[in-house]
Amino acid sequence: MSDVYTEILVPKKVTAPDIFVKVILILLTGASIAAGVIVRPAFLIAAAVFLLLDILLIPRLSVEYEYLYINGELDVDKIFSKSRRKRAAVYTMEQLELMAPAGSGHLEEYERRQGIRTVNFTSRNPGAPVYVMMIVRDRQMERVLLEPDEKMLKDLKMKFPRKVFSD
């Protein structure tokens, strides 16, 4: 039997707070360097701190999510600035309770429950089709928000026909 393999790359939308943080960090770094050169060399220490923050935080503001579905396992990775990858989550689909479009009637039972952790791996674009995956992970129910494509949905429906809905 052949392997079922699906890979999707979903870039996260750049938001106004992301741009604001970038601009403020760059302005603070520039102002600290200028103050260190013109006013007092002690400001160069602040400039070094702001430069370190620039190096650490700015790449984390550009994020893409990669979904990799292989034979009943869904891996979600975060890719920062198209260069660094970090594993965000691994889901064993055997523990899938339900998967349906956001706002679906199939999710009503889960919407009333308290204490469900929500994880968002979507682009956050208003028109993007978001699916909600209810899954048990580490004995805790999780609500995972994803943007699967048609091929991934077809593969999941084939493997779990009573758990995956497209309404």
Spatial distance between the Cα atoms of 122 and 42, rounded to a whole number of angstroms: 43
Determine, yes or no, domain membership for 20: yes
User: Across residues 98-106, what is the average pLDDT?
Assistant: 93
Q: Residue 68: beta bridge partners? A: 7, 75
Any domain includes 165? no
Domain that holds residue 44: 16-60
Residue 136 included in any domain: no
Q: For 149-163, what is the mean pLDDT?
A: 91
**102 falls within a domain:** no
Q: Tell me, yes or no, whether 156 lies in a domain.
A: no
The answer to whether residue 143 sits within a structural domain is no
Burial of 160 (0-12, 13-18, 19+ CB in 10 A): middle
42 domain residue, yes or no: yes
Q: Is residue 11 part of a domain?
A: no
CA 25/CA 46 separation, integer angstroms? 12
Structural domains in the chain (count):
1
Please write the tens of the pLDDT for every residue from 40-50. 888 899 999 99
Exposed e or buried b for every residue in 109-128, given b needs 16+ CB within 10 A? Answer: eeeeeeeeeebebbbeeeee
Read off the pTM.
0.83
- The string of pLDDT tens digits covering residues 63-96 is 999 999 998 899 999 999 988 999 999 999 899 9
